Structure 1
Amino acid sequence: MAASPSTARAINDRLALRLLQQEGPLTAGQLKQLTGLSRPTVADLVERLTEAGLVTVVGESRAQRRGPNARLYGIVARLAHLAALDVRTEGVSVLVSDLLGGVLAEASVPIGGETGTGPAVEQSVALVERAVKEAGAASLHTVGIGAPGLIDPVTGELRDSQGLPEWHRRLVAALQERLPAHVIVENETNLAALVEQREGVARDRDTFVLLWLGHGAGAAVVLDGALRRGASGGTGEIGFLPVPGTSGLPSATDCEGGFHSLASSAAVTELAARCGLSAEAEGDEPTAAAVVRLAVARVTGDDGTGAGKGPGRDDAERFLDTLAERLAVGAASVAAILDPGCVVLGGEIGQAGGEVLAGRVGRRLARMTPLATEVRATALGGGAVLRGALLIARDGAQDELFAPR
């Protein structure tokens, strides 16, 4: 059955808006070419979207002569303001953007382990409010939050996870109460995987696993283009994976003894110390990332001494080899169950290790499994969580604002 005129108009409008999201400003002629619609139909939808305040003329195409045909139409960025939060055990980072993701303000605040729940929540909310004011936004439409721990797949709420501060859960509720905005919460590793899928090294993969290597160890699973969360939201809790090389087994309330004991920031720093390596961290990055970067520099000669000639090169080689063996154990376990074809080493440690560490993990993984599994290094680091939080905020806001009327 043919669609009604109103339904057809809504479909065409959504198609045009999606193209403007993906491609940026376009002329009416470019919209005609990309949509396959007739010139009058495109003219009508541009007029409708302009009258609705969703699109506007943002410039002229240099490829066209001056005049109506040269007008570039773009989504109205100021139509809504968004906020993205990266909530860590040691602090909060926030950015405020327009509807197109243009960053208007950024801020962060450290929150020590001795800070009480109430003060921690108040500091975090105040940080968001200051960023909104700095951005010149009257209000927020949608807030995206990335946090460690499990997200209930039914309610979308951050669950009470062992070992995580109580203020994490309280913060979500406080933001919902204090801000007239829609609040979306997602696991930090899942957000990083979303960014890798759309903008990072997994753009060409429908199926892959992100191995998150930051302060803790986690994983995110993307199968056939879709992020998989599991029955309880726990897909990817690889820190609890029982592995050889630890002193015991993990429990339902403690991941010590699991893969966490081999790949967390603390475990990597301890391994480096045993290999005679130490480094000063930059900013709020994990110390483990700094020492991995140092080791890579020593084995490649990027520390200024020349490859194979620098002091401590043998220690750096031994450290990277042992770390690669540890990571390959976790990657092999994932490969045996999911056969993802690609594992991305993410987080600050994955970024610091780069292709040097990824190559070593890949070679060891190839000896441990018959399943062909490429290992890639992220270029995004810890900033992927904040970027992912912004993406889900944009998606949520645009889905509502661009809904058929």
Structure 2
Amino acid sequence: MPASPSTARAINDRLALRLLQQEGPLTAGRLKQLTGLSRPTVADLVERLTAAGLIAVVGEAGEQRRGPNAKVYGIVADRAHLAALDVRTEGVAVLVADLVGRVLAEASVPIGGEAGTGPAVEQAVTLVERVAKEAGADPLHTVGIGAPGLIDPASGELRHSTGLPEWHRRLVATLRERLPEARVSVENETNLAALAEQRDGAARDRHTFVLLWLGHGTGAAVVLDGALRRGASGGTGEIGFLPVPGTAALPSSTDCEGGFHSLASAAAVVALAAEFGIPVAESEVGVVRAAVGVVRGAVAQAGQQQAGSLDGPAPAVAFLDALAGRIAVGVASVVAVLDPGCVVLGGEVGRAGGVELARRVRDRLARMTPLPTEVRATTLGGGAVLRGALLTARERAQEELFPPGSGRG
């Protein structure tokens, strides 16, 4: 059934807003080219969005810089302020941005395991309020939160997990109490990182891919035909529970020990490094980064320039090879079921290992599956979850500011 005129107008307006967000200020003529809409339709939507206070003339373009065709339109950035949170077991990072995604203020706070639930929640909420105040964002319109764990697809709530601190779940409820005017939503951190990689990172050219999260825990996000897939219970990508060879037992319904988690979690990476005599650093990131640094340093000293010839001292090479072999076991299982064509290694370990670890995983994967699969390292560094949370907050704010069917005339 064809869309009603009001719904069609709302769809066109959202398309124009999305283009203005992604491309920056545009003339009506350029909007016509990018949308494929007629000149009168573009003129109508520009009038509607201007009247709604969502866009405004921000300059003029062209040699003459005169007349209606020279006007450049941009989103009214301060029409709404957004907050993005990256909630980890050891702390919280927060940023506040305007409607075009320009970051106005950001900060983070560590939260130790000894902190009780109440004090931990208070620390996190106080940080959000302080950063919002510094940004001049009062009130916040939308808050997007990235957190580890399962999100109930029906309620959108973070489900209880014995492996995560209770303050994570309490944080969401407390933010809704303390920020009554804000729309607060939570999403799995790996899913948000995947959305960020698809928009701005290693998967910009892919409509189908899997992001493998390698950090304190393990997880995966699945994007098929451009859409993030969550599954019937929100558990798509809970790869830590995947039964794999090389572990002492099988995972259970309440504990992923014995699954892929036992091969590639932070604790497993540190233990593996110790087996190869790699000096134990403070974290899994430290040991992986140290091993990669040793290999690259040796390569540079030897004058080898080709990425395919990277080699180095035996312990560092053996450790990276063993780690890549473990990761490839999990990746091969995902590839056999989904055939995504591309796997991005994210999280702290994926970031620390970079292209060197990704190359090693790719080489081992090629010997385990006939399905051609690229293995890429994240390009977004440690900000992937925050970036994804901000992107989803912007999308929700846009839907709230211009809901379907609200077009007039």
TM-score by length of 1: 0.93
Contact 2:289/2:352 (8 A) holds in 1: yes
Q: Deviations over 1:165-220 (max 9, x none)?
A: 01100000001111021111100111111111111111222221111011111111
**For residues 66 and 11 of structure 1, what CA distance do their matches in structure 2 show?**
30
Partner of 1:337: 337
1:8-19 equivalent positions in 2, closer than 5 A: 9-19=9-19
Residue identity (%): 76
**For residues 274 and 393 of structure 1, what CA distance do their matches in structure 2 show?**
44
Contact 1:28/1:73 (8 A) holds in 2: yes
1:274-285 equivalent positions in 2, closer than 5 A: 274-278=275-279, 280=281
Contact 1:299/1:307 (8 A) holds in 2: no
Structure 2: give runs of 5+ residues left out of the alignment.
305-309
Select the structure with the greater relative contact order (CA < 8 A; seq sep ≥ 6).
2
What secondary structure is seen at the aligned counterpart in 2 of 1:301? helix
Q: Structure 1 residues 294, 123: CA separation in 2 closer, same or farther (over 3 Å shift)? A: same
**For residues 303 and 253 of structure 2, what CA distance do their matches in structure 1 show?**
45
Contact 1:350/1:381 (8 A) holds in 2: no
Partner of 2:30: 30
Partner of 1:264: 265
**For residues 24 and 383 of structure 1, what CA distance do their matches in structure 2 show?**
22
Contact 1:297/1:303 (8 A) holds in 2: no
Partner of 1:291: 287
**For residues 5 and 250 of structure 1, what CA distance do their matches in structure 2 show?**
54
What is the deviation of 1:270? 1.4
Partner of 1:284: none
**For residues 203 and 224 of structure 2, what CA distance do their matches in structure 1 show?**
12
Q: Deviations over 1:204-258 (max 9, x none)?
A: 2222111101111111111222111111111111111111112222122111111
Partner of 2:84: 84
Contact 2:298/2:312 (8 A) holds in 1: no
Contact 1:332/1:368 (8 A) holds in 2: yes
Contact 1:184/1:392 (8 A) holds in 2: no
Letter in 2 for 1:238: I
Q: How many residues align?
A: 398
Letter in 2 for 1:297: G
What secondary structure is seen at the aligned counterpart in 2 of 1:382? helix
Q: Structure 1 residues 400, 64: CA separation in 2 closer, same or farther (over 3 Å shift)? A: farther
What secondary structure is seen at the aligned counterpart in 1 of 2:231? coil
Contact 1:81/1:141 (8 A) holds in 2: yes
Contact 1:300/1:307 (8 A) holds in 2: no
Letter in 2 for 1:155: S
What is the deviation of 1:10? 3.7
Q: Deviations over 1:275-299 (max 9, x none)?
A: 1213656xxxxx2122212212222
Q: Structure 1 residues 302, 86: CA separation in 2 closer, same or farther (over 3 Å shift)? A: farther
Partner of 2:65: 66
Q: What is the alpha-carbon root mean square deviation over aligned residues?
A: 2.2
What secondary structure is seen at the aligned counterpart in 1 of 2:364? helix
Q: Structure 1 residues 302, 135: CA separation in 2 closer, same or farther (over 3 Å shift)? A: farther
Partner of 2:45: 45
1:245-394 equivalent positions in 2, closer than 5 A: 245-278=246-279, 280=281, 287-301=283-297, 305-306=301-302, 313-394=313-394
Partner of 1:159: 159
Q: Structure 1 residues 171, 307: CA separation in 2 closer, same or farther (over 3 Å shift)? A: farther
Contact 1:342/1:375 (8 A) holds in 2: yes
Partner of 1:208: 209
What secondary structure is seen at the aligned counterpart in 2 of 1:252? coil
What is the deviation of 1:121? 0.7
What is the deviation of 1:345? 0.8
What secondary structure is seen at the aligned counterpart in 2 of 1:300? helix
Letter in 2 for 1:328: A
Pick which of 268-277 and 77-86 moved more.
268-277
What secondary structure is seen at the aligned counterpart in 1 of 2:367? helix
Partner of 1:222: 223
What secondary structure is seen at the aligned counterpart in 2 of 1:269? helix
**For residues 298 and 27 of structure 2, what CA distance do their matches in structure 1 show?**
47
Letter in 1 for 2:286: A
Contact 2:296/2:311 (8 A) holds in 1: no
**For residues 265 and 18 of structure 1, what CA distance do their matches in structure 2 show?**
38
What secondary structure is seen at the aligned counterpart in 2 of 1:120? helix
What secondary structure is seen at the aligned counterpart in 1 of 2:381? coil
Letter in 2 for 1:388: G
**For residues 160 and 247 of structure 1, what CA distance do their matches in structure 2 show?**
27
Partner of 2:120: 120
What is the deviation of 1:343? 1.2
